[in-house]
Amino acid sequence: MVILTLKERKLIDEAIFTLGNDHDLTVWREWKRNHPEVNYPGSGRNDDGSGPMPGYVIEVVISALTRFAGSLEQRAKSASPDEAADLSNDILDIESTAQTVKAG
């Protein structure tokens, strides 16, 4: 199973804690409890060998990340240029995290 970076985990946490429901929180917390390993730069490990992430976890994570990116896009429309640039970077990180989850 994919080993997420600390940044990816934090983005998913924020998305689920901000926009998820009780079911989403339960699914994500259970997955994190069962897969505590973090992919640190230079560790050389990005897969723990336990098979793919279950589909129901992927669905919960992707749904939360998609909603989170959408909320940031809405905020960026009325933000200052500097804040909009920061939000755009956050959105790119969210999209990258979603791709990692889909692939793993």
Instruction: List pLDDT tens digits, range 89-102.
Output: 999 999 999 999 99
Burial of 22 (0-12, 13-18, 19+ CB in 10 A): exposed
How many structural domains does the chain have? 1
Q: What is the DSSP letter of 41?
A: T
In a domain, 41, yes or no: yes
Whole-structure pTM over 0.85, yes or no?
Answer: yes
- Note down the domain range covering 90: 6-103
Is 61 a domain residue? yes
- Residue 39 maps to a domain: yes
Would you say residue 1 lies in a domain? no
pLDDT for res 60: 97
- SS3 at position 65: helix
Q: 17 lies in a domain?
A: yes
Question: Average pLDDT in the 75-86 region?
Answer: 95
Structure tokens at 35: 């897969």
- 47 pLDDT above the threshold of 90: no
